[in-house]
A and B are shown apart, each in its own frame.
Chain A
Amino acid sequence: MSMQVILAQALLGLNVGVFYAMLSLGLAVIFGLLNIINFAHGAMYMLGAFIALIGYSLLEQWFGISLQIGFWASLLVAPLIVGILGVTIERFMLKRLYDLDHIYGLLLTFGITLILQGLFANYFNVSGTPYPGQPESLSGVVNLGFMYFPTYRLFAIIFSLVVCFATWYVIEHTKLGSRLRAGVENPDLTQAFGLNVPLMITLTFAFGAGLAGLAGVLAAPIYSVSPLMGADLIIVVFAVVVIGGMGSIMGAILSGLALGLIEGLTKVFYPPAASTVIFFLMVLVLLFRPAGLFGKEK
């Protein structure tokens, strides 16, 4: 097995890993700060990709608006729209469930997922529609020495890493982040200090949802846009969060990247196991470190 092959599959694994990281990061933020197991996260990811697709090629046909939202603009517009949807869901639905068990939030968001998937499956084909808007400037190929790698994928990796670590930095190392964490730790006390805790919670949920939407836009040019693209991914992402530790921001990022890598390398050594290796690790982690690799035992 040559080094070249291993490096190549590792890089592809990293490519998958950044998507795991971005999605599990959003899940971890929402769980860490809101205690909600957001099953609709995959649907938000799917929604982000569809907003990019519709914005690029269907606005005129559907709404008669002669406007085209390009890839770069989608990186901003799609997370914004998904974020607003997140606000709506949090304000009008999830809010009523905060005093109940986690399982109610999970069931509600699972229902939302099914509704969104069904809605899009009704109008788009399930096997996927290619996204035509990949920018010309990213369409080339980079020679990395050990392999040729599409420029766009390289861009997606770097962009996602920047977003992930920026999020981590804001939450762990800024004043805004410390207020957020304080609001979660003791809402009443934080409120007494004059901070608007419900608003903070709403915005956090919107931010988590927006992250998923952003990942969807980034994924659109690589994978075709399909109503089930989120459902395919969300189960793996949950496993990533479990392995990293629920609520641990850095844990979510690092385990996302690491598991993408492990999955990629499994394809080198024993391809049939590639789709299950993450779940195997999840079982091991649950048996020996139930709070996850980076989580704290409560």
Chain B
Amino acid sequence: MFKHWKSGLAGAVAAATLAMPLTAAAELTDGKVKIGVLSDMSGVYKALEGPGAVTAAKMAVEDFGGSVMGKPIEIISADHQNKPDIGASTAREWIDADEVDMITALDNSSVALSVQGLANDKKIITMNTGAGTTALTEEQCTPYGIHYVYDTHALPVGTATAMVKNGGESWFFITADYAFGHSLRDNTGAVVESLGGEVVGNVNAPLSTNDFSSYLLQAQSSGADVIGLANAGQDTVNAIKQANQFRIVQGGQKLAGMLVFITDVHSMGLDIAQGLQFTTAFVWNQNDETEAWSRRFYERHNAMPTMVHAGVYSAVTNYLEAVKATGSDDSDTVRAKLGEMTLNDMFVKGGKILPNGSMLHDMYLVEVKKPDEASEEWDLLRVVSKIPADQAYISLEDSKCPLVN
């Protein structure tokens, strides 16, 4: 009897010790968690996301301990070359052959939309940190798509609101002449007018314009308080550089960049970029926590992180937290958990992921420092004001996402 009881106890203990890893192994489909970083590794967006995103994802895994529930976490990466077809076929291979559990980065809106659509068919979570279009969480939202760092609503709304309140009431736009630029201009113009400001003029410049001089002079002669640059990337950099050549900011007008990354500012230099205001989700030296992480990132990447790099770190970390909390890598389970969580880390405070995939978090209006204000090479930005999450992002009530409205 006693003997029997003893062996029974031993069996129960053995069963109990066995049971935990057994259930976990059953829940983690291929015995590991695999995260894919799909980014532009060689083209125009290389500096703002690219290889730095892989570094950030690897840091997240290391800080998490390298494993979840005793199983390894693996990061793989590829170059989508800004081509939606290449992005989608890579994602398909990752999901079908490599059993990737989550895909992140996805800079470039057209790649982002195509991969998010494909991942939805395959029931795989995407945590987009790089693309801008609100379509990801609006018209083309999916149950598995999360938009994590910024969107084309948050950027202009943040910048325009703050600038109008600071006295920049009349605006002149230089607009990239295609859908992205027009929607950026319309969003921004609407905000300006709703706050009692005025749009005094607009000029459309073809995409990849090299010579902005005559557009800039038109903006200058309009006498507007603010020159809004409804463009991105090289166009923004060219316009800002030439505005400097023609001494426009020194003449008293403000430039408002709608989509600017710290890497753009760094490549322009403070002499040229000083005084430029824009909206960002992350400033590396904003507090001790962000600075500590950013310096570790710098050691590996040789450049300070953009908001997108910091966002990748945060997205991967929180994804792993959700896997750990639910003991599962099943997309529905993890996505439900992510929706319940309040996200708190060095990148985001009190972040919430809505059912449409939009991650609500505070944004910051920043101004580029003057050369004599910078204490070191990458000390480029000064926070002007905080833009609360509910102002920056489209609310669930106003969402055009078919999943919620």
Contact = CB atoms under 8 A, between A and B. Distances in A.
B218 A150 contact: no
Interface stretch (B84-92, B149-157, B178-186, B209-217): B209-217
B298 interface: no
Contacts of A226: 210
A267 B246 contact: no
Contact of A9 (B203, B217, B238): B217
Given A8-B217, A9-B217, A267-B218, A224 B245 contact: no
B210 A12 contact: no
A12 B214 contact: yes
A149 B247 CA distance: 8
B217 A148 contact: no
Contact of A128 (B210, B213, B214, B247): B210
Interface in A1-38: 2, 4-5, 8-9, 12, 15
Contact of A267 (B43, B207, B214, B245): B214
B328 to A, nearest CB: 44
B210 A9 contact: no
Interface in B22-76: 43
B385 interface: no
A268 to B, nearest CB: 8
Interface string B208-235: 1011011001100100000000000010
A147 B203 contact: no
Contacts of A5: 217, 221
A141 interface: yes
Interface in A134-176: 141, 147-150
Interface string A111-130: 00000000000000101100
B264 to A, nearest CB: 13
B246 A223 contact: no
A198 interface: no
Interface string A185-227: 0000000000000000000000000000000000000111010
A127 B221 contact: no
Contacts of A125: 43
Nearest to A127: B208
A222 B221 contact: no
B83 to A, nearest CB: 13
A264 interface: yes
Contacts of A222: 210-211
Contacts of A267: 214, 218
Interface string A238-278: 00000000000000000000000000100110010010000
Given A127-B208, A128-B210, A150 B203 contact: no
A264 B218 CA distance: 11
Give the interface size class of chain B: 10 to 19
A264 B221 CA distance: 14
Contacts of B245: 141, 148, 150
A224 B210 CA distance: 6
Contacts of A127: 207-208, 234
A149 B218 CA distance: 15
A271 B203 CA distance: 8
Given A9-B217, A127-B234, A223 B211 contact: yes
Give the interface size class of chain A: 20 to 34
Given A149-B246, A150-B246, A2 B213 contact: no
B173 to A, nearest CB: 13
Contacts of B43: 125
A167 to B, nearest CB: 25
A12 B213 contact: yes
A271 B211 CA distance: 15
A148 B216 CA distance: 12
Nearest to B217: A8
A224 B207 CA distance: 13
A141 B214 CA distance: 16
A189 to B, nearest CB: 48
A148 B220 CA distance: 12
Interface in B242-280: 245-247
B218 A147 contact: no
B214 A9 contact: yes
Contacts of B210: 128, 222-224, 226
A141 B247 contact: yes
A223 B234 CA distance: 12
A141 B246 CA distance: 8
A142 to B, nearest CB: 10
Contact of A264 (B208, B214, B234): B214
Contacts of A268: 218
Contacts of A149: 246
Q: Which 5 A-B pairs have the closest CB atoms?
A: A127-B208, A148-B247, A223-B210, A5-B221, A150-B245
20 contacts: A2-B221, A5-B221, A8-B217, A9-B217, A12-B213, A12-B214, A15-B213, A127-B207, A127-B234, A128-B208, A128-B210, A128-B234, A141-B245, A141-B246, A147-B217, A149-B246, A150-B245, A150-B246, A223-B210, A274-B214
Interface of B: 43, 203, 207-208, 210-211, 213-214, 217-218, 221, 234, 238, 245-247
